[in-house]
Chain A
Amino acid sequence: MRLADGPAGSRVQHLGVLAVLVGVLLFAMHSLNDVLDATRPNSEDQAVRVHARPEFAQPALDKEPAYHGRPPSPQVALVTDAARVSDGNDDVLLHPPAGNLSFARHLELAKLVCGPLCSLPAKLASLPFRNLSRAITVAEMRERFVRTPVDCARLFSPLAERLFDAPASMWPPPRSMPDELYDEYTLGGRMSNSTKYYTNRYSGGDAMHSRWSRRGIDEWVAKALNASLSGNYGRAYAGLLMGAIRRADVRDKRVLVIGSESPWVEAVCLAAGAAHVTTLEYGRIVSEHPNVSALLPSEMSRRYASGVVIPPFGALSAFALPCSSSPALRALTCDRRRRVVFLH
């Protein structure tokens, strides 16, 4: 039977053309959805990606992310106006307020300290990010590179010390994320969240291991050199870190370690040839090792503000403090006598 002949055949031809058109339309809609998914920073994108990779069906990955309190607001622009934060009376940078601050006031002052750094760059807000079907790549991350103005004098100002270094007046911390800070913590709802509540207070007190002996550190250096150091996370992580540090080449350089409960990272750095390691830690640490020292964040801020005795990390030479955009801080950073920070 020849279906193309006669009226019946013509109907079939028309149906065929219609089917092709519907197919093209469906394909176009599918492609459009793909494009929209790729630019839509919400849970739909995650749902699509998780479906494409069902073996990732783990809690908090395969479902709508758990949001705290209220629905996400992915359109919220967290971009700070850099000009605005440098205008007006910024004496508060030198003379921070005493007493308790509301969450909103704390945040407002924090933005004065860090400016555009503490905001979601517009470029990143527009890029897709919940792609669970593909591992992070170097090329992708380099594409996401953002250069943002930094005012170091503000970051080490008395106000910054008050906001970021001083112990909290509230204890214990709230069991749930404060509503006033939700958008800031989650980048406008782009980060899902859940609750795992802990209290381990030692900000302002002694660190977990407050005295680091020379012998103990040297023993760990020896272990790091023969790949038997466990550190806090086991040999695999100690080895991974050792590899990364060796590739970075810290030989004869000064290293800054941010946060340390026990000196295993410091030992790995020394094993990799670092000249000196300075640890920045909330709790007070006394190091008896000549090549390891420790600072409280507040001590580092004060040293930076006074312009002396901060080693330039990554090198053995002195370097210059950049001038601040703040009139209140300019005298501290632009005075030639204060600009060069000497190695101790």
Chain B
Amino acid sequence: MFKFVVKRLIAMIPVVLAVTFVVFTIMWFVPGDPTNIILGNEWSEAASAKLKAELGLDQPFLVQFFHYTTNLVQGNFGMSYITRAPVAEQLMARFPNTLMVVAGAMLFCVGVGVPIGVYSGVRAYSLFSNFTMVVGLLGISFPIFWLGLLLILLFSVYLRWLPSSGLDDGFASLILPSLALGSNYMANIMRITRSSMLEVIRQDYIRTAKAKGVKARDVVVKHALQNSMMPTITVIGMDVGTLLGGVVLTETVFSIPGTGRLLVEAINKRDTPTVLGCLVIMAVCIAISNLMVDIVYAYVDPRIKAQYGGGKD
């Protein structure tokens, strides 16, 4: 198992590097002279040239990219053009908030989506199953930001149960953002789980288990569930990326000071190093989540583990 993880970790490096290169190249096209933004009223020809040399902005593209990545490896994301503080500091302050919202959404997706999916797969074509299918269909079409606004209207304006913005109230303030961000994916996971459960439940080995007299609950939990989990795990892993994209919207709706908001603010202020930092850290998160999916795959499906190191450790 250790060998497998290490192999996958090494395979992650070129991907992250390539994504960084793509983002860096796109940001290279940002128009205007960054020294205008940094110096503001103090701008002069000489000061601009001096600052450019200091920041390495007068170097060729590839050299700049090389410097950027070598700094990145050491945890240095560069300096913000606006606040002149290290980007890493801002990211450290904001990223945990984003992580909390994503984790909350994830918990909601998996915690609600999988059990409902399994149940409506086992009891296919029942009233409950049909109802969840309709909910799933509506759920995947709901725009995150509109759902967020509707949740605020219902739960904080009319019912006054939950706070509508910020993260000051701890757990309570995480509920609405997680619901808004997670509902799309919850619906998706529910649908996928249901359809793969439907497929598995018709297999011969399920009938064999039933014929042996295994309890109905054990048939589902021990036989069907493990074999139907692969598509669900894939979707859960893929959704981490989509969740991180959606977090930009959720943080805007609920005024949460996270990476998504930082990204939007930085784009509006043309603060390129901050934009880059936000995008890179999100790409790294996505790469890590893909890695985790692969590891979970190996746990669930022994055939994959067997390919690496014979499944011993």
B is a partner of A: no
